[in-house]
Amino acid sequence: MKIEQDKVVQFNYKLSDSAQNTLEESDDKVPMAYLHGHNNLLKGLEAAMEGHEVGDKFSVILEPAEAYGEIRPDAEQRIPVKHLHGAKNWKKGMIGVVQTEQGRRQVTVVKVGKFMVTVDFNHPFAGKTLTFDVDVIDVREATNEELAHGHAHGVGGHHH
């Protein structure tokens, strides 16, 4: 079965930057699962998945514009430290999560004060050219429920 619109795909991946540093890796025991054609992946990655089958291994390189965008220089903001989630004691360089009107955003801590913290709203992978090494584990038809929700359920997918 080929990957196309409305198929649920399980895959393992390794994400590296242009200097070959591994940034992220899926857990072999719990592959990622997503519903193809519903904007659940980075656009360039989803486009590269199209037409592949179980057992296919391939690599795709995404420029920053196709991945997490260029680094914006004006993305630093001072926020109350209580709005920063993910750790108790913050240090420069740590990644935290902030709830914004656009949803949850990953931010990088720039400076820590007693009540206020300066964070950088650029995504940690902004400005990076990313290489995804993909290993397709499974391709199946989506259920009606998955199509209605617009995402995959079960192993590697949404649980709710």
The binding site for Zn ion (CB under 5 A) comprises 149, 158
Cα(22)–Cα(26) distance, rounded to whole angstroms? 11
Closest distance to Zn ion from the beta carbon of 22 (Å): 30
> 5 vs 77, which CB is nearer to Zn ion?
5
Q: What are phi and psi of 146, to 5 degrees?
A: -65, -40
Closest distance to Zn ion from the beta carbon of 29 (Å): 22
> 67 vs 152, which CB is nearer to Zn ion?
152
What contacts 108, CB < 8 A, 6 or more positions away? Answer: 93, 94, 95, 96, 119, 120, 122, 124
Which amino acid is it at 29? Answer: K
Closest distance to Zn ion from the beta carbon of 153 (Å): 6
> 27 vs 145, which CB is nearer to Zn ion?
145
Closest distance to Zn ion from the beta carbon of 142 (Å): 11
Calculate the CA dihedral of residues 106, 61, 141, 54 and round it to 10 degrees.
-130
> 28 vs 145, which CB is nearer to Zn ion?
145
- Which burial class, exposed, middle or buried, applies to 104 when counting CB atoms under 10 A from its CB (0-12, 13-18, 19+)? exposed
